[in-house]
Amino acid sequence: MRIFGALLCGSLFGAGLALSGMINPQKVLGFLDIAAIINNGWDPSLIFVMAGGLVVAMPFFFWAKSHDTALLGGSITLPTKRTIDRPLIIGSLIFGGGWGLAGLCPGPAISALSYMQAKPLLFVAAMLAGMALQRVFARS
Amino acid sequence: MENFTPFTSLAGGALIGLSAGLYIVLNGRIAGISGVIGGLINGTAKQKAERLAFIAGLVIGPVILALVSGYRPPITVDANLPVLVLAGLLVGYGTNLGSGCTSGHGICGLARFSPRSLAATLAFMGTGLLTTFVMRHLIGF
């Protein structure tokens, strides 16, 4: 059952990325290019994606905070770390740099694989390599 | 603002929020995509199968949407190959080090009012905006 839960949630997520336009790197860059506001070219759509996502997700997380067991069995695992530390900030700064370069973050990059194009595939391969590199550095 | 799509973006965002909400309630897990991908290396066979199912869903989700509604947005990747590889390396390295990305911190984290996720979201939004500005207006990519 848990497998079906994951497949359902992944599919909803992927459909949401496509419907919202987040799957298109050009649209994401149209949001990140805030300077384009001067010539009326800025695209604020991503704010609506976040607003819609947060409003719908909030009650579920509110429920999850006061429950220990997931509906399909197993424990509810919420992050327990509270400190805002260097790895969190430095990692996020690095991630934002990559995001602004190509307009792709992990979710849309995976969903864009459904278009069977070379560029998203290359990006995902590089992303996996980046994740592996971080693990190697963290160990040394 | 010719490309502004408030209604489909709001509806798409709601679907993403529903997905993240259902995943924590049904499976008890955070729908953070970088975490789901990174977790493919660790964990039991059952956990890996679950994460793989989520990733398979991410790929078939846009196809299901196209079949149901006929809507299939065009995608344009402007970055050239070296920039694309550099971007991928930075995104993979950064999300692993920072324990999350736009979904894990930006949606799930903010939806449960996590100060860590707020700090992370401000950080990646900041460098995202800055990098796009440099690339588009200073370098002219």
User: Model pTM?
Assistant: 0.96
Alpha carbon of B44: minimum distance to chain A alpha carbons (Å): 14
CA nearest to B41 within chain A: A132
With DSSP H G I counted as helix, E B as strand and the rest as coil, what are the percentages for chain B, rounded to 5?
Answer: 75, 0, 25
Question: Given a cut of 70, is residue A135 above it in pLDDT?
Answer: yes
Position A8 scores a pLDDT of 98
Mean pLDDT on B7-14: 97
Mean pLDDT on A10-30: 97
Instruction: For residue B9, give the nearest of A53, A71, A127 by alpha carbon.
Output: A53
Mean pLDDT of chain B: 95
Distance from CA of residue B126 to its chain's centroid?
16
Position A114 scores a pLDDT of 97
Query: Quick check: B75 and A120 CB within 8 A?
Result: yes
Mean pLDDT of chain A: 96
Query: Quick check: B26 and A57 CB within 8 A?
Result: no
Distance between CA atoms of B2 and A43, rounded to whole angstroms? 8
Question: Given a cut of 60, is residue B26 above it in pLDDT?
Answer: yes
Strand partners, A69: A75
Question: Given a cut of 70, is residue B2 above it in pLDDT?
Answer: no
A121 in B contact zone (CB under 8 Å): no
> Do A57 and A69 meet the contact criterion of CB atoms below 8 Å apart?
no
Position A3 scores a pLDDT of 96
E strand residue ranges, A35-120: none
The interface residues of chain B toward chain A in range 48-87, judged by CB-CB distance below 8 A, are 49-51, 53-66, 69, 71-79, 81, 83-87
Position B97 scores a pLDDT of 96
Instruction: For residue B117, give the nearest of A106, A78, A76 by alpha carbon.
Output: A78
Query: Quick check: A106 and B86 CB within 8 A?
Result: no
Percent of chain B with pLDDT over 90: 90
Position B141 scores a pLDDT of 63
Distance between CA atoms of A100 and B122, rounded to whole angstroms? 14
Instruction: For residue B91, give the nearest of A17, A120, A104, A46 by alpha carbon.
Output: A104
User: Does the interface predicted TM-score (ipTM) exceed 0.90?
Assistant: yes
User: Which positions in chain B touch A130 (Cβ < 8 Å)?
Assistant: 88-94, 96
> How far is CA A53 from each of CA A16, A87, B19, B41, B90, rounded to the nearest angstrom?
9, 26, 9, 28, 25
* Closest partner CB to A91 (pick from B53, B98, B135): B98
Question: Given a cut of 90, is residue A78 above it in pLDDT?
Answer: yes
Mean pLDDT on A127-135: 96
Mean pLDDT on A10-17: 98
Instruction: For residue A118, give the nearest of B120, B15, B81 by alpha carbon.
Output: B81
A-B contacts at Cβ under 8 angstroms: 495
Number of neighbours of residue B47 by Cβ within 10 angstroms: 16
User: Which positions in chain A touch B132 (Cβ < 8 Å)?
Assistant: 29, 32-34, 100
> What one-character DSSP code corresponds to residue A115?
G
A11 in B contact zone (CB under 8 Å): yes
Query: Quick check: B77 and A87 CB within 8 A?
Result: no
Strand partners, A75: A69
Question: Given a cut of 80, is residue B77 above it in pLDDT?
Answer: yes
